[in-house]
Structure formats: C-alpha cells, structure tokens
C-alpha cells in the first residue's frame, strides 16, 4: 500500500468535506441541533459530513472498516479500520466559533498507520503516515524544543459531561496555572493535538476522550517527534479515555504532575 499517496487523497477528501461544513455553519438554526447526552450535541452537518467521509474512504480503501462518532455506518474491517470524527468541536460550530476540525485515522489492526486533522476555518491540513514525518500544508512540522515547564504553553479540554474526576482535574489545572506560561482551551482535541505537533503548544492533557477524538492527532504528534501516553505513562491513550502529549521533556513533566493528583 502506498501510504503517502493514500494520505494525500484523504487530505483532499477532508478539504472537500470542510468546504461543505464551512458553508453550512452560518445557516445553522436551533431546530438543526439534537442532544445526544448532557452538553453533547449533534447536527445534520456532523451526520452528513460523516457520510461523505465514509463514502469517500470506502472508495479509497475497499473492504476497510469504520469506527465513527455518529454511528452512520456499522462496518468492521478484517485488517484496516478508519477512525473518524467528522466534526470535532460541534459546540464551537453551533456557536459560530471558528475552531472545529475533521479527524481521520487509519488503523492496521490495533496500530495507527496514518492520520489527518483538518482545521476547517484556518484551512490547515496536518497529516502523517507510518515511516514518514508530520506535515502541515506540505511543510514538515516538529514538536517544540521547550525544556522547562514554566516556559511552556499548554492546552487542555474542560470536562463537559463526565465530572467523575473533576476534583483531580482542577488540582492539576491549578498547578499548571501557577507553573506555566498559560493554559488554553479551544474546544477541539484534534486541533490541540495538531498544534502540539506543530510546536504551537508544548503539551496537552485531557480525560474523557473517545478514539475518534485522538487517534489521528496523537499519531501526528508522534511522527512530529513528540511523546504520547495515558495518565499512567502507558500506551492506552486511544481507547483509555485519557491522554498526555508534548515534546519529550514537557510530556515527562506533565505526567509527573498528573500522577500526583490522579
């Protein structure tokens, strides 16, 4: 399989779906919004975008399976599986905010071998495939070289419906508020991960995430020279619901802080 060529075709598909999203955002009304759970929303744009992605990816790799957020398809592949978040940042999208993205990863068995994160409004496409570096719009990207936590800028996501670990999370947040240059919360984990890969952020942590939130972005961080783990330092960050990533030095500092409280 020519992963480099396939990656470019996926990028093109994501850009096309992104154009559809951008065109729909300003026509969205209250009647277009459904509730999946506490503070968890979906629109016809999520569902239509997912169907467009599934249809396109099925043509690119016949026989592959899908793990998708909006359940528009139930299809498990024997060897290859696409992991898709058609609109990461739905709440931002609903409120006319510009930070939302498309996230597409390809897994061979249990291993991610390719990932694309498309920042729709910025038109920035982050991508990588196994054996190669990470890119943004054709330019190679790398994680930052920041060596000290107090010189770092971190990203996170606030829990919006899973408050089971809120107390621990707030303790970690308080520590980083005092011991970094700052913390940012943009509302799209896929974009946060892409910005770690490109060195805009030095690190990122969050819990209560799904595979489609992180599979592509985490892989891109790794291909950009970063380190990714769960809160214990293990590799269960795709299905385990928690993730820490950053350049190798900042990742290790973040994990030591998280371990104190979680």
Shared domain check, 168 and 43 = no
Q: What pLDDT, on a 0 to 100 scale, did the predictor assign at position 149?
A: 97
Segment 140-187, tens digit of pLDDT: 999 999 999 999 999 999 877 778 889 999 999 999 999 999 999 999
Sheet holding 242-246, edge to edge: 182-184, 153-156, 203-207, 242-246, 227-229
Segment 126-141, tens digit of pLDDT: 999 999 999 999 999 9
HSE toward the beta carbon, residue 4, CA cutoff 13 A: 6
Predicted model pTM: 0.94
Shared domain check, 66 and 11 = yes
Q: Could you tell me whether strands 139-141 and 134-136 are parallel, antiparallel, or unpaired per DSSP bridges?
A: antiparallel
- Whether the per-residue pLDDT at 40 is higher than 90: the answer is no
Shared domain check, 99 and 34 = yes
Q: What is the CATH number of the domain that holds 88?
A: 3.30.540.10
Would you say 127 and 135 are in contact if contact means Cβ atoms under 8 Å apart?
yes
Length of the chain: 262
Shared domain check, 73 and 30 = yes
Structure tokens at 68: 């998708």
Q: What pLDDT, on a 0 to 100 scale, did the predictor assign at position 41?
A: 57
Shared domain check, 153 and 135 = no
The whole-number average pLDDT for the span 22-32 is 76
- Per the structure, the complete domain to which residue 171 belongs is given by 149-261
Residue whose C-alpha is closest to residue 210's, from 94, 72, 88? 88
- Whether the per-residue pLDDT at 81 is higher than 90: the answer is yes
Shared domain check, 204 and 169 = yes
Q: What pLDDT, on a 0 to 100 scale, did the predictor assign at position 140?
A: 98
Domain count, the chain: 2
Shared domain check, 132 and 21 = yes
């Amino acid at each position: 399989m020519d992963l480099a060529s396939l990656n470019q075709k996926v990028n093109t598909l994501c850009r096309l779906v992104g154009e559809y999203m951008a065109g729909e955002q300003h026509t969205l009304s209250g009647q277009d919004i459904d509730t999946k759970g506490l503070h968890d929303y979906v629109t016809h744009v999520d569902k239509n975008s997912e169907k467009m992605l599934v249809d396109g990816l099925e043509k690119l790799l016949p026989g592959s399976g899908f793990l998708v957020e909006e359940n528009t398809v139930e299809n498990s592949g024997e060897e290859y599986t696409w992991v898709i978040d058609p609109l990461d940042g739905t709440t931002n999208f609903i409120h006319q905010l510009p930070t939302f993205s498309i996230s597409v990863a390809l897994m061979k068995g249990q291993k991610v071998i390719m990932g694309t994160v498309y920042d729709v409004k910025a038109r920035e496409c982050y991508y990588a495939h196994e054996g190669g570096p990470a890119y943004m719009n054709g330019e190679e990207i790398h994680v930052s070289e920041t060596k000290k936590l107090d010189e770092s800028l971190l990203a996170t996501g606030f829990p919006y419906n899973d408050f089971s670990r809120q107390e621990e999370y707030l303790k970690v947040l308080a520590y980083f508020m005092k011991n970094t240059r700052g913390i940012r919360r943009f509302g799209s984990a896929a974009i946060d991960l892409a910005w770690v890969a490109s060195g805009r952020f030095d690190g990122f942590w969050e819990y209560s995430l799904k595979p489609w939130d992180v599979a592509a972005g985490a892989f891109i961080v790794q291909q950009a020279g970063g380190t990714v783990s769960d809160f214990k330092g293990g590799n269960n960050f795709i299905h385990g619901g928690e993730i820490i990533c950053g350049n190798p030095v900042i990742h290790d500092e973040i994990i030591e802080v998280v371990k104190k409280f979680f």
